[in-house]
Structure formats: C-alpha cells, structure tokens
Chains A and B, each alone.
Chain A
Amino acid sequence: DIQMTQSPSTLSASVGDRVTITCRASQSVNSWLAWYQQKPGKAPKLLIYKASSLENGVPSRFSGSGSGTEFTLTISSLQPDDSGTYYCQQYITYWTFGQGTKVEIK
C-alpha cells in the first residue's frame, strides 16, 4: 500500500500570508497526485490534479508542485474562505489520502 503523509497537521496563518502544505508518498506516484479542500460538514472539493493542474473554477492563488514522492500545495495569499482541511491523494495505485492539514485563519 502507498502511504501518504502530510505536514503540518494544523497551521494557523493570517490573511494575506503565503501558506505551504507538504505531502510525501511512501513510494513514487509520478504526478498522480490530487489536492482537495474540505469545509466542515461538506464534501471535499477538488483543487489540483496531476500534481499541478488547477481544477476549473479554483482561484489561481492555489497551486501545486512536485513529482515522485514529494509534493506541495501553496496558497499564495491566504483568504478568509480558505479555512478548512486539505487532503492530498495519490491515484497511481488505487486511491490513498493523507491524514489532512487543518488550516485556520488567525
């Protein structure tokens, strides 16, 4: 099984800050990596697929990078609506999620 590990588990940042979340895979997933945002009580929403492709309608302040085993999700200028939990997911072999990163606004 491919394990996905995210860091940090929680982060608190101010509006306008640049925020980075890291996701590491236990073995290479090439670029088969997606990022999701989940608000409390809601279904997750796809933000990024194939490591760096922005889903239609997602603000351009979100970006993804990486390949192989190390990936990052960056929010270039944190907005109040960006609070929530972010999950990475590999989909080279079945589908596995990271444990999530909770983003709080200071």
Chain B
Amino acid sequence: QITLKESGPTLVKPTQTLTLTCTFSGFSLSTTGVGVGWIRQPPGKALEWLALIYWNDDKRYSPSVKRRLTITKDTSKNQVVLTMTSMDPVDTATYYCVVGTTVTTGFDYWGQGTLVTVSA
C-alpha cells in the first residue's frame, strides 16, 4: 500500500523560507521510473505543479517559481524535502506530495495535503 504524508509548518511569515517534508511508504525512490513531486492549490483555485525529483536524482522545477525552489531526496529515510524561499501571502495554499510510480501514469498517488498560510 502506497502512502505519502506531508509535514511542515502551517503558518509562515512573509519573506521566510518554507520547508516541507514528504514521508512515503510502499515504494522506493530508487526504482527506475519513479518520481516524487509537489503540487499546490490556493484556496478555491486550480492545481499548480511546483517540482519533481526522479529516482536518478534528476530534478525538474516549474519555471514560474524555479528561483525559489529546491527539492532533495533521502532514499534511506523515504523522504523528499521541498524548500521555498521568500514566501509571500500569495503562496498560501494546500501543498500536496505526489508520486508517479512510472513515467507513463501521471501522478497516481497523492498525500492528504497540508495547508500553509503565509501571514505576518
């Protein structure tokens, strides 16, 4: 059974750096084709892909926020960490951790999401 769970602060101040951790089970990020990523959804709005890291440590970032993002993995701990700098109130959103267990399937498993509010 594949599960993913996001953890991190629920409230950050403007200009601060957000660090989110995705802890997963039921698959290995060492398996060829697997990618773990982050997607966010502002309240009442659509989904926005942010970043993804592959089994081979290849990384992809959304061009719109690339300068602010870093994604890393710790295969031994089954964790993926996303950091986002210079947080702004417009970054208030539910942040989801997702996995694509093959390169052909899109994101076939999602975490429950964690709401991050950016406010002074």
Contact = CB atoms under 8 A, between A and B. Distances in A.
Interface string A79-106: 0000000010101001111111000000
B48 A97 contact: yes
Interface residues of B, number: 20
Given A87-B46, A87-B47, A94 B62 contact: yes
A98 B48 CA distance: 9
B49 A95 contact: yes
B63 interface: yes
A50 B47 CA distance: 19
A75 B60 CA distance: 33
For the residues of A in contact with B, the DSSP-based class is loop
A43 to B, nearest CB: 4
A4 B37 CA distance: 20
24 contacts: A43-B96, A43-B111, A43-B112, A43-B113, A44-B47, A44-B110, A46-B105, A46-B106, A46-B107, A49-B106, A50-B104, A55-B105, A55-B108, A87-B47, A89-B47, A89-B107, A94-B49, A94-B60, A95-B39, A95-B106, A97-B46, A99-B46, A100-B46, A100-B47
Interface of B: 37, 39, 46-49, 52, 60, 62-63, 96, 104-108, 110-113
